[in-house]
Amino acid sequence: MLQHVTLEVRQAQIRDCVAFWELLGFSEMEPPPMLRDRFTWVERAGTQIHLVPVDAPVVAHEGHVAVLADDYDATLARLSDNGFELRPGSNAWNAPRTFVLDPAGHRVEVMSKPPHPPWP
């Protein structure tokens, strides 16, 4: 199990990013005391996203975080209703998936189910 991913964001984007991850079912949690002043964490089912503020964040162009949606259609509706632009991904394993950019510009893949053979 992947435990966490750290994403660089501008300080001014932290709250918007927390709100974005909440749309994907994550909840803000308190980091350990030693890290509290620097990081903001969100968590869902043991997987965490650590947001670290930096002046010049690095945002990957093709690299991305993939999240398995509990309710794919409802998740996409929440994102769309909150103004996020959704871009359908290819149906590479016979399951819909969609890409969206978080408020900091990080690419996030929302999956209806994980990839697993047999392949179409």
pLDDT digits (tens, 9 = 90+) for 24-66: 999 999 999 999 999 999 999 999 999 999 999 999 989 999 9
Asked whether residue 119 is domain-assigned, the answer is no
Asked whether residue 46 is domain-assigned, the answer is yes
Asked whether residue 29 is domain-assigned, the answer is yes
Backbone torsion region of residue 80, taken as left when φ is above 0, otherwise alpha when ψ lies between -120 and 50, otherwise beta: alpha
pTM of the model: 0.94
3-class state of residue 17 by DSSP: helix
Tell me the CATH number at 41: 3.10.180.10
| Containing structural domain, residue 26 | 4-53+63-111
Asked whether residue 14 is domain-assigned, the answer is yes
Domains: count for the chain = 1
2 band by pLDDT with thresholds 50, 70 and 90 = confident
1 band by pLDDT with thresholds 50, 70 and 90 = confident
88 band by pLDDT with thresholds 50, 70 and 90 = very high
Angle between helices 72-81 and 14-23 in degrees, nearest 10: 150
